[in-house]
Structure 1
Amino acid sequence: MPDTTLLVPTPDGPADAFAAFPEGGGPHPGVLMYSDAFGIRPALRAMARELAGHGYVVLVPNVFHRQGPTPVVELPDFIGEDDRPGLVARLMPFIEAHTPERTLADAGAFLSFLSARPEVAPGPVAVSGYCFGGLLAVRTAAAHPGTVAALASFHGPVHADGLDVLSGLRAEIHFGHAAGDLTPQALAGVNAALDAAGIAYTSEIYPGTVHGFTLPDTDAFDAGASGHHWDRLLALLGSALPAG
């Protein structure tokens, strides 16, 4: 798939980003993809290219651009059990500083930039996110109901800002929760909030999974669950923003 690196103007300076495009034709529906806290790296670029191959223009911004270009901490090729605590400790100040206000300042800029690209079809776009990026995707969709037609979050803390935020969503939704992240009781609360929103959604725990199960460069990766995530994501996008 064609791809490139870009600089996205934001209120706090330019954010570096990765973009992947379908082969030929167009324009195509747009997808704003938020990475996990480890940031843009070969595995995320490959996932963006995979999605672009199904007919979507995919923009992956560096959400920690205020701290520098991605990756903001040096990463090993494979993130294993011994690597994770140290990496998370180094990233935690950036995560904690990324307030809802900071998220939304960036979100408007990211959505405007994506929608203005000549390769992107007019009209609504989709937002997806992984881990911490799943929370950013929820915040973005809640703040831009007229722009975001589809929202997907995978092993993300989607209820971290409260269930009232979920009950105000207007996009079509898929939430894929890790079994290690969410109890069945907590899932019932999330789904009740989505019921209250009166929107089309699927929200489920992927059996036997741990946090990060979609990410192939980590020890959390689960090939079967990753395949299910692609099925769910493509079905959601096909319903809300059909490509081609």
Structure 2
Amino acid sequence: MTKHAIDIQTADGIAKAGLFLPDAASPAIIRPGVILYMDAFGLRAALDQMAARLSREGYTVLVPDLFYRFGAYGPFDAGTAFKEEASGRQLRAMIDGTSQAMTAADTAHFLDALADAGAGGPAGVVGYCMGGSRALSAAAAYPDRIGAAASFHGGNLASDKPDSPHLRAASIKARVHVGAAGVDGSFTPEQAALLVQAFRAAGVDFVLENYVGMAHGWCVPDHSVYNEAGAERHWRRLLAFLGETLK
């Protein structure tokens, strides 16, 4: 696995990204592209670790900075950043200032970067925390370019906001896997019911799995609620899902 730091030109500036290329010796014949949408704490070593693991399975993985419009920031400690006044205020401003529409527009350039790197076939998208909703929105925005979309502990997947991903279910052609934290204030049972209703009405090929006992953030290794057993379960589901859909 090889990591390259790249710059991606978008309509609003330059987004930095990590590009992870599978080893030439990888047994994969098809090397699909996967966008890994970050959680709220931005680019850092923990996400590199996750992208590298995906890449070792034969995927070309892109981890873009969704907060690039705000210039330099962080790195943030995922365990304490929201507890500290200054970093918490900065993070909330960046989250609120990075809309679904912005990330959807950026995703066209992210997909082009994967194609330029040699990724073949429909792409996959996977997101964590705020990235989970971005993954579903991307699948709706680019139905002919994205074949698999996964969200883990994604927040606000079926909210009352006009850009909520569930409202665009009819545009999704990709297969979808949603892994929900057992107790998560940002994705309540009521939201889960709305998401299921929207997906079933739209004929989306989806699975929603409830990770009982897991807290929001359990998949990401530097998060304060990281759970190794739960994270490994998520890896088994994700790799099977991507393999069945993209390879």
Q: Decide: shared fold, TM above 0.5.
A: yes
- Percent sequence identity over aligned pairs: 37
SS at match of 1:84: coil
1:59 and 2:62 matched: yes
CA displacement at 1:188 relative to structure 2:
2.4
Partner of 2:147: 149
1:238 and 2:237 matched: no
The 1:167/1:193 distance shift into structure 2, 3 A limit, reads: farther
Rounded Cα–Cα distance in structure 2 between residues aligned with 1:183 and 1:85: 23
Written as runs of structure 1 = structure 2, the 5 A alignment for 1:80-229 is: 80=79, 82-86=80-84, 87-118=87-118, 120-121=119-120, 123-157=121-155, 158-160=157-159, 161-162=163-164, 163-181=166-184, 182-229=187-234
| Higher share of residues assigned strand | 2
What runs of 5+ residues in structure 2 fail to find an aligned partner? Answer: none
Residue correspondences, number: 235
The 1:211/1:197 distance shift into structure 2, 3 A limit, reads: same
| Contact in 2 for aligned 1:73/1:90 (Cα 8 Å) | no
What are the Cα deviations for residues 42-84 of structure 1, in whole angstroms up to 9, with x where unaligned?
1100000000011100000001111124xx22323xx33x443
Rounded Cα–Cα distance in structure 2 between residues aligned with 1:115 and 1:36: 24
CA displacement at 1:88 relative to structure 2:
3.3
The 1:88/1:236 distance shift into structure 2, 3 A limit, reads: farther
Which sits farther off after the overlay, 12-21 or 55-64? 12-21
Moved over 6 A (4+): none
TM-score, with normalisation over the residues of structure 2?
A: 0.89
TM-score, with normalisation over the residues of structure 1?
A: 0.90
Partner of 1:47: 50
Rounded Cα–Cα distance in structure 1 between residues aligned with 2:215 and 2:174: 26
RMSD: 1.7
